[in-house]
Structure formats: C-alpha cells, structure tokens
Amino acid sequence: MNAAPSHDLEQLLSILDLERPGEDLFIGQNPPKVSTPRTFGGQMLSQGVVAAARSLTRGNPPVHALHAHFIRGGDVHKPIEYHVQRFRDGKSFANRQVTAMQDGEELCTMLVAFQDALAGLEHAVAIPEAPHPEGLPTMGELFEGYEDKIATFVDALHPIDVRFANDPSWKLREAGRSLDHNRVWMKTDGPLPDDPVLHVAAMCYASDTTVLDSIITTHGLSWGFDRLFAATVNHSMWFHRPFRFDDWLLYATESPVAAGARGLGSGRFWMRDGTLAASVTQEALIRHFPRKK
C-alpha cells in the first residue's frame, strides 16, 4: 500500500467531506478535475451514502444496501445539495432517503439501508480465477497509444487503482474480439482512514466504472472507437461483509441482458481471500449509432 494517498485520492476524500448547513442538509462539491459534461454517477452515490450515514442518530449500524435512481445529469460547475429524509432509526436498523438536487431540481434519489450484522445462514459463490493484481498493467500503461481515442477516461480523476485482468474494451476492439465478462482488481490509490463509511463510499464511487463494459464488449464495441451513448438509469448495491477498500478487491461483472435501448450490468466484489464483500446491479440507457460505411 502507498505511504500516502495520491493527489486524486485526496481530491475524492475532499469531496466526501460534506458541508452540513442543516441537520438533514449536506452540500457536496465537485472535484476541480472534471472531464465529463455531467456529474459522474459514482460521485453522487458516494456523497449520498456519506450524507445518509452522517445523519444516523442511534448507534452506528453499517450500510447494508442502497438503491439509486438517476433522474437528470448534474452541472459539474455547481455544488450538489443532499437532502436527507429519516424513515427509521431502530436499535439495529436504520433507513434514509437521500435526494441530490441542483437549482431546485432532482438529480438522483437514493434509499440507503443500515443494519447490524446478525448470526445466520452463510454461503457465497466462489471468486472467479484471475491473475494477481500486482503483475497486471496499470491504467496508465493501458492508456498508452489510445490517449486521443479515450481522452475522457485518460483525463478523468483517478483515485482508484484499477488493474484489468482481461483486455479493456479498446484493446479488444482493436483486436476484433468480443468478451461477455469483465474482471478488474480495484483499490484506492493509497490508504483510507479507518472510518468504514469512507470505504463503502469509495467502493460506491468505483462501482460505477467498468460495470457497463460487458454490455458493449459482448458486441465487440468500445468506448472511443464506436459511436456510443450511455447514461445510468439506476444503480443498486448490497454490502455483505465488512471490507477495506484500500486493499485489493476483484470486481467481476457481466451483462445478462440488453433490450429496449437499455443494458443491465451486474457485478460482485471479492476480497483477495475469496470472501464475497458486495454485489452490484446497474441499468443504463445505452445506444449504438453505427458509422455509415
């Protein structure tokens, strides 16, 4: 693990340190380094879960699940208001609704559930086979030679250390190959504080990357090479066990279906010892406009 957070990770931690002008109102800033015209969905997920957690008043149960629906894109040059509604504060359970807003309009609404872990039945599917992350190329190495094609990704904030266990979409596309799954090791690019909420928030942020890749690689397409439009519609996560996101987790994703101009991506995060930490499902509007020959 790095001795200190990278500059981009410091930026992520900074925007997760929400202002609190009211008891149930939180303000989230955008990072100064932005490469997209609208707010990154993972940013709203991460800031929203922090707002929900900071509003807890009885105990400190961990995040159990979140379900978010994206309504409109955010302006990257304006702060985002997170309005929290308290639905329940029980002994072992808590529920919050968080609505992200700008200029009086809703950007995203999230239901966030908290629950203390209890004894019960346990099982989980096995971790897929994948090479160890330390021997895999960095994102910087995978970007080499493709800087013009995928400039949006190259210029984005990179607080997460990402190591592809398979070729990314742009290399598959260039080789004329398709792939119906994706295997990526992820961790923050440096250490995180011990606060479990920040580890969940960092995973939320990272979960919005690569989860849609299998939709397009199934068809041999790639960001940057093909005329594609994608916008997240909804995003759900379930957190099964405690984890640290400043240690490697394998994010294994696939797309079970694409229909009606929408694609579904599903994924799971495993710790290195094979323990299943979290599950993810995301639906997105995704359209392909083939170039005229």
Which stretch of DSSP H or E encloses residue 242?
none
Going by C-beta distance under 8 Å and a sequence separation of 6 or more, which residues neighbour residue 195? none
Give bridge partners of residue 82 from the DSSP assignment: 26, 100
Is residue 51 within 8 Å of residue 18, measured between CB atoms?
yes
Nearest Cα to Cα of residue 124 among 291, 279, 9: 279
Task: Extract the tokens encoding 231.
Answer: 């916008």
Give the active site residues: 208, 232, 282
How many residues in total does the chain contain?
Answer: 293
Residue holding tokens 């066990």? 241
Cβ neighbours of 16 (radius 10 Å): 21
Rounded-to-integer distance, Cα 228 and Cα 214, Å: 14
Nearest Cα to Cα of residue 111 among 98, 125, 128, 93: 98
Query: Which stretches of 103-248 are assigned E, i.e. beta strand?
Result: 105-115, 160-164, 181-188, 228-239
Rounded-to-integer distance, Cα 267 and Cα 256, Å: 11
The backbone region for 172, taken as left when phi is positive above 0, alpha when psi lies in -120 to 50, beta otherwise, is alpha
Q: Coil, strand, or helix at residue 292? A: coil
Cα dihedral across residues 271, 187, 76, 140: positive or negative: negative
CA 132 to chain centre: 22
